[in-house]
Amino acid sequence: MSFLSKIGLKVVKQPAVRGYMDEVLKEALRDIGGYSTSGVAVNAETALKLSAVWCAVRLLSEIPASLPKTIISQEKDGSYATLYDDPVNSLLEFPNEYMTGFDFHELMNASLQLRGNAVAVIYRDRKGNPVKLLPVNYSGVQIRMKNGLLYYVINDVLFGINQNFFATDVIHYKLFSSDGIIGRSPIRLAKDNIGLALSAENYGGEFFRKGGNHKAVIETQQGFKSYTEYAKWREKYDEEHSGIGSDHGTPVLQPGMTYKQLTMSMEDAQFIATRQFSIADIARWYNIPAHLLHDLSRATFSNIEHQDLQFIKYSLRGLITRQEKEWEFKMFPPERRNQINVKFDMDGLARGDMAARSAYITTMVNGGIITPDEGRAVENRPPIPGGDKLRTPQNIVGKPIAPPKESDPNIK
């Protein structure tokens, strides 16, 4: 029985798409979240023209992609083992024949930050083991519910996918969601803030294109005798005093003419302050410190490290946990989910400077918490003879103190 038959739908053949450029155009039209209050249309592509958005999306895409990824199984005796030979472990690094693991995770997280959702199709062998992951353009994804079954209608031109999939056969990253099914797009929610920043960019470009001239009117008491005379004067005035090719000299008006400026100057419009505020605004939308967007106006030597730790705890932790749980839920059968942990290791991000790291490892090894080999592994060093044994501090070596008896008069 086919997938569609199980959920009670008829097979409807999708119309052929003429080419990849047609799909790109459709994507742009679908992603438009409406015009912002500043009059600028904001979508996933136009938002990337803003340097703060570009930097935020790159940051939140490259960091999860660069983290070491492992699969850990909890054994019946309470111990933990890393499953290097598990087929899912291979997919974490080599998801398909077209891209590396870094490319895959970067692409998924970029879609997540721009559209609030990222989708990849899971292909399985006859035994049900996952063997390939293909990320698809979320603009070609529709999520539907029929007879209590959640399924995805996917039309991806690049990989030639035009098919329906059960939710269990789809990896779906999502940001904050109001229904638990579809994530909210930060670009659409922030369209007014991003539109204001893009308008400021356009305003600055137009200002300098016109040679720093503001919109104004020239009043004349005498007037022009004919339109030809006016056109000739206007052409000469524009040639000398506006545009990139002008000499930017002081305009000399004819007798009886008065120059009156209509628009505010860049200083009155707080142009620089608006651009500075847009960086802080984007940092708030993406929940990252402003200094990571290269705004160091409020950064100091003493607070940057603490801001980095806050970024790991309050931004990356939730982002990474969502993805770990999605892998555990979709890539393993129900009977194994309770004993499997997919881990995107963020320990390396929390490392301080060399002195702090050295002191931390020394304390952990000498305190008998980790073995010397485990401490060396943190710095990617090979094991050493005898390095697999825990050390016991000499000041606590001795005969253990027996617990007091119930007959002890000191016990109340």
Query: Following DSSP, what letter does each residue of 110-156 receive, concatenated?
Result: HHHHHHSEEEEEEEE-TTS-EEEEEEE-GGGEEEEEETTEEEEEEEE
Other Cβ atoms within 10 Å of 224 Cβ, number: 13
The confidence band for 98, taking pLDDT boundaries of 50, 70 and 90, is: very high
The predicted structure's pLDDT at residue 11: 44
**Quick check: 156 pLDDT over 90?**
yes
Q: Decide if 288 contacts 294 (C-beta within 8 A).
A: no
Residue 27, amino acid: E
Strand 80-82 and strand 117-124: pairing? unpaired
**Quick check: 328 pLDDT over 60?**
yes
**Three-state secondary structure call for residue 162:** strand
The confidence band for 124, taking pLDDT boundaries of 50, 70 and 90, is: very high
The confidence band for 234, taking pLDDT boundaries of 50, 70 and 90, is: confident
User: Per-residue pLDDT averaged across 228-244, rounded?
Assistant: 71
The predicted structure's pLDDT at residue 311: 87
**Quick check: 131 pLDDT over 90?**
yes
Q: How far apart are CA 276 and CA 297, in angstroms?
A: 9
* Residue 399 or 382, more confident: 382
Please, what is the average pLDDT of the chain?
78
The confidence band for 246, taking pLDDT boundaries of 50, 70 and 90, is: low
The predicted structure's pLDDT at residue 99: 95
* Residue 47 or 9, more confident: 47
Angle between helix 51-66 and helix 317-331 axes, rounded to 10 deg: 50
The predicted structure's pLDDT at residue 64: 94
The strand pairing partners of 368, in sequence order, are: none
The predicted structure's pLDDT at residue 135: 96
User: Per-residue pLDDT averaged across 370-378, rounded?
Assistant: 85
Other Cβ atoms within 10 Å of 247 Cβ, number: 9
**Quick check: 83 pLDDT over 80?**
yes
Check residue 41 and report its DSSP letter: B
- Count of all residues that appear for the chain in the document: 412
Residue 91, amino acid: L
Q: How far apart are CA 323 and CA 111, in angstroms?
A: 13
User: Per-residue pLDDT averaged across 206-234, rounded?
Assistant: 69
R_g (Cα) of the chain, nearest Å: 31
Q: How far apart are CA 17 and CA 35, in angstroms?
A: 28
- Reported as a single tens digit per residue, the pLDDT across 280-322 is 888 889 999 888 888 877 766 667 777 888 888 888 999 999 9
Strand 149-156 and strand 141-146: pairing? antiparallel
The predicted structure's pLDDT at residue 17: 42
Extents of the domains making up the chain: 12-207+276-340, 208-272, 351-397
**Quick check: 113 pLDDT over 50?**
yes
The rounded percent of the chain whose pLDDT value lies above 90 is 31
Spatial CA neighbour of 307 closest among 290, 322, 327? 290
The predicted structure's pLDDT at residue 192: 80
**Quick check: 141 pLDDT over 60?**
yes
Least confident stretch, 17-26, 112-121, 217-226: 17-26
**Quick check: 372 pLDDT over 80?**
yes
**Quick check: 179 pLDDT over 60?**
yes
pTM of the model: 0.70
Return the sign of the alpha-carbon dihedral for residues 329, 330, 332, 335: positive
* Residue 352 or 163, more confident: 163
**Quick check: 213 pLDDT over 50?**
yes
* Residue 225 or 365, more confident: 365
The predicted structure's pLDDT at residue 163: 93
Least confident stretch, 184-188, 239-243, 302-306, 402-406: 402-406
* Residue 389 or 355, more confident: 389
Burial call 6-30: b when 16+ CB within 10 Å, e when fewer: ebebeeeeeeeeeeeeebeebbeee
Residue 259's alpha-carbon distances to 46, 59, 219, 266, 388, in angstroms, are 37, 49, 7, 18, 84
The strand pairing partners of 74, in sequence order, are: 80
The predicted structure's pLDDT at residue 18: 47
Other Cβ atoms within 10 Å of 155 Cβ, number: 19
Check residue 313 and report its DSSP letter: I
Structure tokens at 137: 């353009």
**Quick check: 251 pLDDT over 80?**
no
The predicted structure's pLDDT at residue 12: 45
